[in-house]
Chain A
Amino acid sequence: MSRPVFSYWRLRGLNMHPKFSRSLALVCFAISLTAHAQSSLQSGGDFSNNPQPNALPSDVILVKGAWSSASDSVTPVPEGGRVANNVFSNQYFGLTYALSPNWKEKYSGPPPSDSGYYVLAQIRPAETPKGTTRGSILIAAQDLFFTLTPAGNALELINYNKESLDAEYKVEQPPTLVRVANHSFVRFDYGSPVAELHWHVLATQIRCHMVQFVLTSRDTKLVESLIQEMSKMTLPAEAGPISGRGGGEVPVCIKDYARDENVLERVDPVFGERRFNPTPVRIIIGKEGKVKHIHFLSAFPDQVKAITDALFQWRFRPYLRDGKPVEVETGIMFGRVPRPAVFPASQAVNE
């Protein structure tokens, strides 16, 4: 509770005995000090007495667990794609995809997983009354270096999808090689009779990632028209269900290149804290065999620092293609290795 503070100087104007006025002023000053102390308790920790405090932003993830990061902000990474001017573009995959009119990305996806799964974009119609959504398109990628499914390429992965399909679903078109935008894709259609929904998967492989478009709708005609519009998509020359291993303007991607025989100098990361999360890392090795770029798919900040400090000291045997050294992109799993899935028997693909 605050009390009025009487100014000593104002009291001088009153017709009071000087000694009395001095005493009164001192008493008032003491009272004001006490009131001030009572009303301004210390702020900090669990308490605040700030009448106009600063607010934190809403709906923002400020505290992150294991997350994706990279050693520089210039080298493209898979999760770096974006939708702008109604075009989805991803510099890492060399992919551009013009969205259908009135389709947009409403929500961004989660960060990459510790098994190398990416949600690149989630596209849906822009203006849709609740309950009458027409469909959706999920653009996703799976890093083939870290997949829990021991598949060597996108074609094998789609075959695995088909073989492990839950009994609730019905295969509408088994994995089939098709041409989209002058590139080879594998197409796989399935549906749920009870939900009356259809899923149409178009997958290819780029830089040792399966890149897939998953179109979902009740309306198969809508899906076919969306697939037709995908003919305008641009993709790198390497894209294909069993090709897609980099090269040319991007590094050659080689699984497990960081084997002993290829690592000429190695420094182990020094971790300050023991953690138990799988930490998948992709690196780009320069022509001279030194690490030039590190991409963490999922790691805590202290893991990022320890691994970065170590990896930049590694030296690899240069990889030769046609007798000339080329850049290599490979993957290393630090931390706990995830348990793989059981791989069902694969079947031939239809053409």
Chain B
Amino acid sequence: MKTTKLASVVAILAALVFTGMASAQTDPGVRSNTGVNAGQPLASVTASPNDLAFFQTGLAQFNEHQTVTGDNPGLGPRFNMDSCGACHSQPAPGGTSPASTIFPNVGPNPQSQVIANGIVNGGANTIPYFVFANGPVREARFPFFFDQFGNPNPNAPNGGVEDLFTVSGRTDAGSCSLQQPSFNIARVTNNIIFRIPTPVFGTGLMANIDDATLLANHAAQANNRLGVSGAFNHNGNDGTISRFGWKAQNKSLMIFAGEAYNVEMGISNELFTQDRPLPGEDQLGSGLPPSCLNLAGIGYPEDITHSDGTTASTVTSDVGLFNTFMQFLDQPTPSTTSPGGATSITNGRRLFSAIGCALCHTPSLTTQASKLTLGLGNATANLFSDIEIHHMGAGLADNVSQGGAGGDQFRTAPLWGLGQRIFFLHDGRTANLLGAIEAHQSNGSEATQVEENFDLLSPSQQQDLLNFLRSL
């Protein structure tokens, strides 16, 4: 009798506890029951055999693994990875950091496997402390140069990419011998920041939004009574609005591709024509040693337009193919029902606007006419970004300036495809949407008031909003 009574009490208590837990808001996690909803070409590209061939060649090149010499030459002498698609792969090529245990189980962080896979010589390289098999793909930067005493010098801004690996010790690298940057010292001196791969789905649409549209949207958001007031980054050559990269520092996808090919993989190309030293190697005048130059033996730049090609895609350089691939990538397809159901998602979308998220994460913008393909012209880009740079406060500041963006300013990250992303914010510091939302408030952030509004919502309202975000 006493046992029965106790069991009933326990059951009641358990019901109360677990009911409370069920109603607490949680990030539903990567949407896995709708298939992979990104990585496809625009419908107008699919409908055009020539454009589709171009896209597919670009995709193949995007996934290709480069070597120092041979058929795919030019890797290094310093690099972060040997393939674009290795890092940009979640949930499909063109995406962001993958994971092996999260849908669609692309694989572990490829940077953690470089020694095991023979991409990097383990005798000459170590895996940096911030690279984990289940962590985001990362590039690293030192906000400041070290001085001659090995202390970070706040009067000497750096901010350039410090490549993780070298080709030293590879059989195709000759006598090139390079040292990895001082990541451990940078860690203990608070002189290191990270960037994760930014997804490139829909970037053709982003590229085709006219400046006038962005400026009109900016003006319409003025006097918002929520503390938000962004600005634009500009291309230094012609003053037009730049839009690609975490700080909107790059003007076009072509420049974006060329810079990434050179900086992240060490492959010189027709936009960035030299092998790239580390920022300090460059600015202290030492440069790369001669033994590490022209390792492919083919001269510079290593990636060129092919005058002996016979089709559009065989003539085009790798960078040109990357540009075409990104231009032709369609925006991700959101779900109307998952997670949480249609009512919750609809409610969440309304809440997203009501509390002010949509001020910066503008739900949609219209593109101008396109000569590239019909699908890019007069289209609705559901990017959830105003493509402005905003002050995000001391909590998110990385102390790296790029163009007109200061150390605490970041481009509003487009949220399309967020439902199938694993890591959030510029450095992938969290895989939980709630953590990403909370990080929006800190000293000096424009988003503090909007985050306060999120906190004012009830748990079920917050869950609706999370469900909406994961439906994107």
How far does the Cβ of B318 sit from chain A's closest Cβ, in whole Å?
Answer: 27
Contact with A along B263-285 (1 / 0, CB 8 A): 00000000000000011110110
A341 neighbours in B (Cβ, 8 Å): 219-220, 222
- The reply to whether B452 and A122 form a contact with Cβ atoms under 8 Å apart is yes
> Do A119 and B453 touch across chains, with their CB atoms under 8 A apart?
no
Check A109/B442 contact, CB under 8 A, given A63-B407, A197-B354: no
Alpha-carbon distance between A277 and B191 when the two chains are bound, in angstroms: 29
Interfacial chain B residues near A218, Cβ < 8 Å: 456
Q: How far is the CA of A218 from the CA of B458 in the complex (A)?
A: 10
B391, A110: Cβ atoms closer than 8 Å: yes
**Contact partner, B442, options A107, A142, A274, A336, Cβ 8 Å:** A107
Q: How far is the CB of B472 from chain A (nearest CB, A)?
A: 18
B340 within 8 A of A: no
In Å, the complex CA distance between A138 and B188 comes to: 37
Tell whether A86 is near chain B: CB-to-CB under 8 Å: no
Bound CA span A255–B281, Å: 51
The answer for the CA separation of A274 and B222 in the assembled complex, in Å, is 26
Known: A43-B146, A59-B395. A148 touches B219 (CB 8 A): yes
Contacts A45-B281, A58-B190 given; does A64 touch B407 at CB 8 Å: yes
> For this complex, into which size category does the number of interface residues on chain B fall?
35 or more
A114 to chain B, nearest CB (A): 6
**CB neighbours of B456 from chain A (8 A):** 133, 135-136, 195, 197, 216-218
- A110 B401 Cβ-Cβ under 8 A: no
Q: Chain A's nearest CB lies how many Å from the CB of B196?
A: 20
Q: Is the C-beta of B234 less than 8 angstroms from some C-beta in chain A?
A: yes
Pairwise interchain contact A130-B407, C-beta atoms closer than 8 A: no
Q: Indicate which residue in B148, B222, B236 contacts A44 across the interface (CB closer than 8 Å).
A: B148
Q: Which residue of A lies closest to B465 (CB)?
A: A195
Which of A109, A122, A135, A201 has the most B CB atoms < 10 Å from its CB?
Answer: A109
Chain B residues with CB under 8 Å of A65's CB are: 401, 404-409
Measured between alpha carbons, how far is A54 from B144 in the docked complex, in Å? 13
Is the pair A48, B146 in contact by a Cβ cutoff of 8 Å?
yes
B64 at the interface (CB under 8 A from A): no
Q: Pick the interface stretch among B14-22, B49-57, B224-232.
A: B224-232
Determine the distance from Cα of A93 to Cα of B445 in the docked complex, in whole angstroms: 23
Instruction: Tell me if A275 is interfacial: C-beta within 8 Å of chain B.
Output: yes
Interface of B is mostly: loop
Q: Which of A44, A57, A133, A338 contacts B280 (CB under 8 A)?
A: A44
- Taking CB atoms, residues of chain B closer than 8 Å to A201 are 225
Chain A residue, CB-CB nearest to B353: A168
| Binary interface encoding of chain A residues 115-144 relative to chain B, with 1 for a CB under 8 A from any of its CBs, else 0 | 101010010100000110101101010100
* Chain A proximity of B456: nearest CB distance (Å): 5
B6 interfacial contact with A, CB 8 Å: no
Query: If the complex has contacts A45-B281, A46-B280, A168-B350, are A54 and B151 also in contact, measured as CB distance less than 8 A?
Result: yes
How far apart are the CA atoms of A17 and B175 in the complex, in Å?
45
Q: CA separation between A48 and B180, bound complex, in Å?
A: 11
Q: Give which listed residue, A45, A66, A148, A197, contacts B231 with CB less than 8 A.
A: A66
Is A14's CB within 8 Å of the partner chain B?
no
A-chain residues with CB within 8 Å of residue B278 when the two chains form the complex:
45-46
Given contacts A56-B191, A194-B351, contact A63 B157 (CB under 8 A): yes
* A111 CA to B456 CA, complexed, in Å: 25
A66 contacts across to B, CB distance below 8 A: 231, 404, 406
Judged by a CB distance under 8 angstroms, whether B397 is at the interface is yes
Q: How far is the CB of A284 from chain B (nearest CB, A)?
A: 24
Q: How far apart sit A148 and B223, CA to CA, in the bound complex (Å)?
A: 8
4 interchain residue pairs of minimum CB distance: A45-B280, A65-B406, A50-B150, A63-B407
User: B: which residues have CB within 8 A of A?
Assistant: 25, 142-152, 154, 157, 159, 162, 179, 181-182, 185-186, 188-191, 212, 215-216, 218-220, 222-223, 225-227, 229-231, 234, 236, 239, 278-281, 283-284, 347, 350-351, 353-355, 391, 393-395, 397, 399-401, 404-409, 441-446, 448-449, 452-453, 455-459, 461-462
Q: List 15 A-B contacts (CB under 8 A).
A: A48-B186, A50-B151, A53-B146, A53-B188, A54-B152, A64-B406, A66-B404, A107-B444, A117-B222, A119-B449, A131-B458, A192-B355, A197-B354, A216-B456, A298-B231
Which residues does A use to contact B, with CB under 8 Å? 41-50, 53-67, 107-111, 113-115, 117, 119, 122, 124, 130-131, 133, 135-136, 138, 140, 142, 147-149, 157, 160-161, 164, 166, 168-169, 192, 194-197, 199, 201, 212, 214, 216-218, 274-277, 298, 336, 338-342
